[in-house]
Each structure stands twice: as structure tokens, then as C-alpha cells.
């Protein structure tokens, strides 16, 4: 996480913003300032799980009574919309008596978060003289869907740039719960095993293997990425063990051959 340490010109160093609270570091015998703890935070919304993210503010002095500050959404600097992509429990943040930090809880609406994610820009509302440095906070929320191999299986038409259209069939690998087998790989009859990471990295591994294509054997390996929310993946393979023979396999979606137009290859 990003950390910011502020230096007062009187040579008093105060680090009232930290990922781990240390009460001694928050004490400051001077003017009372309030600020977001960070200027930006990044989170990933995961399908099938409870996603709750927090935005925090901090003050430089303690008080015997609680204090409340307001935050607001900066609409023209955000791609997320309250009540649509996310909800927030309160836009009034209370710092309890004797405490130096307080926060609000942001809950994304998973099904309404687009594949590219959203950003939410918050602004702290307080007198200008009371805000120290960070008056805005940008919360970035990405999206991750759990791996479902059924989203990647079926018959597909591929349109490979510089070659043309051909049919492939993708099936789950009965020997590996996180792998698929692509039949007619490269339109040459081979069967290629592809393994999905099944985690937030959404990466693909093509382990070193020998393909029998057109009666000849070819050594191949590769890697790539996938999108669990849409059943799409893109992989790059090195066929024949020679980088000069590198083949960029078409970008494949879960749309079945019977009900979708020909797919076009997407460049990496």
C-alpha cells in the first residue's frame, strides 16, 4: 500500500497515515488537520464472496469527544455510480473520542461492475485550513469471476489473421480440473492442453508438450491470460521449439458456433 509521511517545517515529523495503526505516531501537539490516509487504493471484487472495502481518514490530534467529517463522490472524475455499481454505508465518517482514524465501507454490486472495473473519486469536505495534503481519494475496484471451465468449452469458429477460418473444439481435461483440451489446434489436427491458474491473476500456462499435427510431431509451450467473467482467453504458443514459428492463437469466446458470427482475432 502507498504510504505518505509529512514533514512540518518546525522539524516535527508526524506520520499520522499508516497501514498499521501505531497510536504514538498519530500524536501531534499542534493544529488539528484532517486528511484521507491515502490518495488511492485498489481492490478486486470476487464473484461469490462478500466484498467490503474501506476508505479511511485521519486527524492529527485526539479529542475527548467524537468528530464527524463528510465525503462526497466526484462524479465527473468517476466511472462508478452510487446505487448502481457500488453502495456506501455512510458519507459521514465519525472519528471516535480518543481515536485518530475513522472510515466508511464501500460495497461493490458485483454483477454491475463492468469487466474493466470502476474508479470512484471521493472528496473530503472540511474547511480548507483543516485539510492537510490529501483532500481526494481514488478507489479502484477491479472484477474477478471464479473459474468455470464450462464457460470455455464448446465448438468455435476461429478467424486467424493471415490464415483464415477454421473450426476448433474445446473440452474439459478429465485428468485436470483446471485444464482444457483444444482439438484441431492451429487447424492442423493437434490436441493442445491449456491450464488455467484459477486465481485472481487469471493467467494461462501451456506446459511443454508434443503435438501430433498432420502426421508430424511438434514441441510446443506457451502462456496467456483469460477472463473468467466472459469465458474468453488469449494464448501465445511457440510451436516447434523455434521462436520463428511462434503462433498467436486466436482470441476465443464462449459463444457457440451455432449462435454467433465468426470470431475475429484480437491482437495482443
User: Over the stretch 79-89, which tens digit does the pLDDT of each residue have?
Assistant: 999 999 999 99
Q: Which residues contact 226 (CB under 8 A, 6 or more apart)?
A: 152, 196, 202, 203, 204, 232, 233, 234
Contacts for 24 with CB less than 8 Å, ≥ 6 apart: none
Q: Can you spell out the DSSP letters for 111-175? A: GGS-TT-EEEEEEEES-GGGB-S--EEEEEEEEEPPP-GGGT-EEEEEEETTTEEEEEEEEE-TT
Answer yes or no: do 136 and 176 share one domain: no
For CA atoms 230, 110, 19, 8, the dihedral sign is positive
- Structurally, how many domains does the chain consist of? 2
d(CA 27, CA 6): 13
- Specify if 251 maps to a domain: yes
Residue 264, domain member (yes or no): no
Whether 92 maps to a domain, the answer reads yes
Residue of 68, 66, 61, 41 whose CA lies nearest to 124: 68
User: What is the model's pLDDT at position 262?
Assistant: 35
Residues 125 and 169 in one domain: no
Given a cut of 90, whether residue 225 has pLDDT beyond it is no
Q: Say yes or no: 127 and 54 in one domain.
A: yes
Q: Please check whether residue 89 lies inside any domain of the structure.
A: yes
Both 15 and 124 in one domain: the answer is yes
With respect to residue 1, please indicate whether it lies within any of the assigned structural domains: no
For 157-194, how does the pLDDT look when each residue is reduced to its tens digit (9 = 90+)?
776 767 777 888 999 999 999 999 999 988 888 899 99
Query: CB count, 10 Å around CB of 59?
Result: 22
Residues 66 and 153 reside in one and the same domain = no
Mark which of 126, 144, 162 sits at the end of a domain: 144
Whether 10 and 140 map to the same domain: the answer is yes
- The predicted pLDDT at position 163 comes to 76
Q: Which three cell numbers stand for residue 29?
A: 501537539
Indicate whether 58 and 168 sit together in one domain.
Answer: no
**Quick one: pLDDT band at residue 260, thresholds 50, 70, 90?**
very low
The CATH number assigned to the domain holding 115 equals 2.60.40.1510
User: Whose CA is closest to 52, among 37, 41, 36?
Assistant: 41
Domain that includes residue 173, residue range: 149-259
Q: Which of 213, 55, 81, 190 is nearest to 134 (CA)?
A: 55
| 90 and 186 fall within a common domain | no
**Is 11's pLDDT higher than 60?**
no
Q: Would the pTM count as exceeding 0.75?
A: no
Same domain for 10 and 72, yes or no, is: yes
Handedness of CA 70, 75, 80, 82 (dihedral sign): positive
Residues 172 and 138 placed together within one structural domain of the fold:
no
Is residue 267 domain-resident?
no
Q: Is residue 94 part of a domain?
A: yes
Final residue of a structural domain among 144, 171, 194: 144
For residues 135 and 153, membership in a common domain is answered with no
Say yes or no: 171 and 91 in one domain: no
pLDDT band at 268 (very low <50, low <70, confident <90, very high): very low
Amino acid at each position: 500500500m502507498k504510504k505518505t509521511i509529512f514533514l512540518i517545517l518546525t522539524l516535527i515529523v508526524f506520520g499520522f497515515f499508516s497501514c498499521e495503526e501505531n497510536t504514538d505516531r498519530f500524536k501531534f501537539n499542534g493544529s488539528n488537520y484532517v486528511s484521507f490516509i491515502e490518495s488511492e487504493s485498489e481492490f478486486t471484487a470476487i464473484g461469490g464472496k462478500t466484498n467490503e472495502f474501506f476508505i479511511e481518514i485521519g486527524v492529527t490530534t485526539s479529542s475527548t469527544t467524537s468528530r464527524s467529517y463528510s465525503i462526497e463522490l466526484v462524479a465527473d472524475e468517476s466511472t462508478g455510480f452510487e446505487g448502481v455499481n457500488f453502495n456506501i454505508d455512510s458519507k459521514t465518517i465519525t472519528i471516535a473520542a480518543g481515536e485518530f482514524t475513522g472510515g466508511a465501507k464501500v460495497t461493490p454490486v458485483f454483477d454491475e461492475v463492468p469487466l474493466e472495473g470502476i474508479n470512484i473519486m471521493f472528496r473530503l469536505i472540511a474547511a480548507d485550513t483543516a485539510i492537510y495534503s490529501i483532500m481526494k481519494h481514488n478507489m479502484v475496484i477491479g472484477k474477478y469471476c471464479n473459474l468455470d471451465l464450462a464457460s470455455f468449452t464448446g465448438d468455435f469458429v476461429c478467424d486467424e489473421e493471415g490464415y483464415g477460418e477454421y473450426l476448433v473444439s474445446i473440452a474439459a481435461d478429465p485428468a485436470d480440473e483446471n485444464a482444457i483440451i483444444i482439438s484441431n489446434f492451429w487447424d492442423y489436427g493437434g490436441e493442445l492442453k491449456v491450464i488455467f491458474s484459477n486465481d485472481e491473476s487469471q493467467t494461462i500456462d501451456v506446459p511443454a508438450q508434443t503435438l501430433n499435427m498432420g502426421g508430424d510431431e511438434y514441441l510446443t509451450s506457451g502462456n496467456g491470460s483469460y477472463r473468467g467473467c466472459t469465458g474468453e482467453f488469449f494464448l501465445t504458443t511457440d510451436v516447434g521449439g523455434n521462436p520463428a514459428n511462434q503462433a498467436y492463437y486466436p482470441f476465443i469466446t464462449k459463444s457457440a458456433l451455432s449462435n454467433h458470427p465468426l470470431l475475429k482475432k484480437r491482437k495482443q
